[in-house]
Structure 1
Amino acid sequence: MRKIKSVLITFSCLVLTALLSGVIFLFVNNIEGIIVLLSGLIFLFVLFIVTIIGLINGEIKLLKMNGRFNVSLAISYLVVTSTLLCVMCFLNYVIYDTYGDLSASGKMKLLQEKVVASEELQKVIGDYPVLEHGHITFRYHPDTEKPVYEIIHTMESMTELEKEVFGREITKTEKLEVIALRNSKEYIQLNPLSTETVGGSYDSRNKRAMVYQERESFDDDKSFMIGTFAHEYSHYLIDLFIMEEGLNDNDIPAWYKEGICELFHYEIVDTISIPGKIDTSLKYTDLHTSKKWNAASEKTDVYYLAKRAIGYIVEHQGDVKDLSTILLQQKKTGSFERSFDQITGLQLSTLNETIFSVEKDLQKAWIAWSQESDIETAEKLYKEITKKHPNESIAWHQYALILEEQMKWDEALNARRKVISINPEEAAGFLNLSYLLTIFDSKEALEMANKSLELTKQEPYGNVVFVQKWVDEISSYHELMSEERFVEAYQVILQSEQLSFQPTIIEELKKQVQVKSPS
């Protein structure tokens, strides 16, 4: 009876200790966790020595415990408690190293995501249709069938881009599972730590990508899920490349991997990347680890910065293959920074100064224009920016916008021509130039529209219908202008839905029609 009582007491102590360890795990950070671990282990080690001596003597005077059976229970309790304490502190360290400091609720959500996710996932996708396509298994909600087939349609383009970036088609040693959910609500149900700002995820351990179709709080276009897939699929490719080449994943900066993924995203889906808030005090070295990346993402648009950096490297080198060459060189140098310098001829500090200098200057000019309505100051700033950074197409684009708003047409035209000279493969630049040329030359406006259509057709998910409509409109406009049927020509172009988003151009065209046909 006494032995049963002793066992029950020991078990109760273990339960209480487990609860206490759980509380410690939830409410301490990494530093506090280490202190608790060391203090606890020292205390438990002292008790362990005392109990071993007690086991030999048959009693523990310090704990007033008699009998070898009771002493054995005490030893068992100490061993289990020590193991539990180590596990809790180790988990705390792993979470801190990956996600940074999390609150108690954040840690509980993370545990829920990791422990319950598998069960929840089966509940959500249990009845989903399954589609096998090469090395990819798609499990998709019936409502997402169309975008899933559109994703499959882009795979040929993805493979071509894969060959360009990595120099070859990577061997698919492991299959990829893609979960296509209906909306953000289902996604957050399976990923409690996420918000709608996160469009998808990739699980390296399970080789699983998760994307969804609709966000409640955002007005996304129909290519949202396809672009997200391209990003997450790139993580899968980088994952396989790292394993194939024997690279250390932790040695490759988070911003570099994410930047390559953003490159895939915006090459496959031709959409405009509008930056969020930018903290210009950051450095790319501050975005090396996942922990630093996650921490920085709370105060700045890290994905935009990663995309800008990769774009600058590609423009500077003129070859996307150098992105993987830098990683291969890292096997020889043992340092990403040294490899980056050797392959690109740039130092990370130079890259940082260039990108952040542009962003800081653009932000200042944009605030003067959009928030303070000080157009004169904004124009002056944009003029300085384009002199300081003559090869930054975004600076020339914004400069052209402010010139168009002021109807400084000749200067705006020069700025638009500069945009296409910097990015001759970007359809949007030729489209914007075509809009502006309706004021100057209908023939060249048509030529630029056709060039934009040609480039759009080369894009896997370009909006061909949208550009084709403009080509049809500008064709009619040019034909009528050539026949000097000015009134009809202006009637056609002034009714253009696309040009309605260019109010100053519309205003200038109305002035022209009054001059040519006063009646």
Structure 2
Amino acid sequence: MKKLIILTKTFSLSFFSFISIYGLFLLLGDIEGLFIGVFILLVCFFTFSIRFIGLVIGRRKILAMKRYQPNLIFITVIAFSTAILSVSNYTLETSLKHSLSARVKNHFYLEAVLVEKDRIFERVSFLSTLENMNVSSASVFYEPQDKELAGSAIRHIRKMQSYHNGWIDVHEALPVTLILYRNPLIFQQHLPHHSYENLQALYVPSQETIHLLVTNEMDENPDQFLELVGHEYTHHWMISYLLENKLDNRHLPRWFEEGIAEYAGKQSVREVPIFVPLNFIPFTRLHTVEDWAYENRRKSSHRPYRQSYYAIDQLVKDGNESKIKILLLNKQKNFYRLFEEVTDESLIEFEVRFLREEFMNLKR
């Protein structure tokens, strides 16, 4: 029993020491990180040497070995973790020509453990060729000719933050990373595996990163660029908002989440699409990511983004903005059952009504 307690204590101290050292290097830059790393290694070396010498010259070697062994393991863990993290921190910091926030560095390290390391090296190598604009709410990576777009993106993200605080709830979203691409091939290479077609932008929750392909059309029409930034940032804001409330987005139908993002993106540039008759598909067939990807494929006769936009637009026109928050924060009930409770109509009734009203407005 005593051995188990000692083992548990040693493991716990080693684990929490590693986490503390990891957190320390997330906050440090290249030179100071290297300096602190060398300092900790020297302390570990002298401590280890004193302990080891005590074991060698001690009279009761066996008892001393049992007594000091947990301490030596603890010191060894600190030394190895310091060496690995200090070198990794220095390499990452010097690879890029701009400083990284602790959150961004944490994403790189986690990806290095969880995904293919070659992809991480490729990503860092690519980011090292880009400029960086960093504020408290966002970090934007961009090619030199896109400096103006990067600035407008940061201003638009601030605008979206205020907009969501007003129509959904007050929430200070986590910082987001935005990477602007010009080359479609590089853009596709840096996206995680997905089943979507014709992508121009994608928000990756695990990276808290928006990947966005800048086109010539966006140069001519900046609102198209800002609408896309607003759409993808809304996904980030919702994930951050749900996380604050100890939730994730798995309980949300895809049409509802995409509808909110599409509505917010268009509202952010004051675009009000005129209703266009479409080949409607029941929202229950747009529930999962797979459903959405299938109905949004090139040859699909459906327009899921547009019909989802119309649905959220109708909820707002009905004065149900506060009910959107209730649906977002649903923790236990079936989404469609809760939808019927808060709107006093079933989803099918809602679909029929908002389509009928849009058609009536079109004829006027």
Q: Does the pair score TM above 0.5?
A: yes
**What per-residue deviation string (whole Å, max 9, x for no partner) do you get for residues 301-342 of structure 1?**
1111111111111111x25232112223x22x5221122122
Residue of structure 1 equivalent to 2:224? 224
Residue of structure 1 equivalent to 2:150? 148
The aligned amino acid for 1:268 is S
Query: Which runs of 5 or more structure 1 residues have no equivalent in the other structure?
Result: 1-113, 359-388, 400-414, 416-519
Q: 125, 128, 131: which is aligned to 1:126?
A: 128
Residue of structure 1 equivalent to 2:325? 324
Matched, 1:340 2:342: no
RMSD: 2.9
CA distance in 2, matches of 1:247, 1:334: 14
Residue of structure 1 equivalent to 2:238? 238
Alignment CA distance shift 1:326-1:146 (3 Å): same
The aligned amino acid for 1:258 is E
**What per-residue deviation string (whole Å, max 9, x for no partner) do you get for residues 459-511 of structure 1?**
xxxxxxxxxxxxxxxxxxxxxxxxxxxxxxxxxxxxxxxxxxxxxxxxxxxxx
* Greater RCO, CA 8 A, separation 6+: 2
CA distance in 2, matches of 1:183, 1:306: 30
CA distance in 2, matches of 1:272, 1:165: 17
Give the superposition deviation at 1:236: 0.7
Query: Which runs of 5 or more structure 2 residues have no equivalent in the other structure?
Result: 1-114
CA distance in 2, matches of 1:222, 1:195: 24
Matched, 1:350 2:352: no
Give the superposition deviation at 1:289: 1.0
Report if the CA contact (8 A) 1:165-1:323 is conserved.
no
Q: Which runs of 4+ in 1 moved over 3 A?
A: 114-120, 183-186, 191-197, 271-279
CA distance in 1, matches of 2:225, 2:124: 21
The aligned amino acid for 2:323 is D
Give the 3-state SS of the residue equivalent to 1:223 in structure 2: helix
Residue of structure 2 equivalent to 1:158? 160
Give the 3-state SS of the residue equivalent to 1:238 in structure 2: helix
Give the superposition deviation at 1:198: 1.9
- Equivalenced residue count is 245
**What per-residue deviation string (whole Å, max 9, x for no partner) do you get for residues 161-212 of structure 1?**
11123321x233x431111122544423434868883220111111111112
Report if the CA contact (8 A) 2:195-2:293 is conserved.
no
The aligned amino acid for 1:139 is F
Give the 3-state SS of the residue equivalent to 1:270 in structure 2: coil
Give the superposition deviation at 1:251: 1.4
Residue of structure 1 equivalent to 2:261? 261
Report if the CA contact (8 A) 1:212-1:225 is conserved.
no
Alignment CA distance shift 1:265-1:152 (3 Å): same
Relative to the length of structure 2, the TM-score reads 0.60
**What per-residue deviation string (whole Å, max 9, x for no partner) do you get for residues 23-45 of structure 1?**
xxxxxxxxxxxxxxxxxxxxxxx
CA distance in 2, matches of 1:226, 1:149: 11
Residue of structure 1 equivalent to 2:209? 208
CA distance in 1, matches of 2:197, 2:328: 32
* Pairing of 1:102-113 with structure 2 (within 5 A): none
Report if the CA contact (8 A) 2:239-2:248 is conserved.
no
**What per-residue deviation string (whole Å, max 9, x for no partner) do you get for residues 9-57 of structure 1?**
xxxxxxxxxxxxxxxxxxxxxxxxxxxxxxxxxxxxxxxxxxxxxxxxx
Give the 3-state SS of the residue equivalent to 2:222 in structure 1: coil
Sequence identity percentage: 19
* Pairing of 1:7-22 with structure 2 (within 5 A): none
Residue of structure 1 equivalent to 2:182? 182
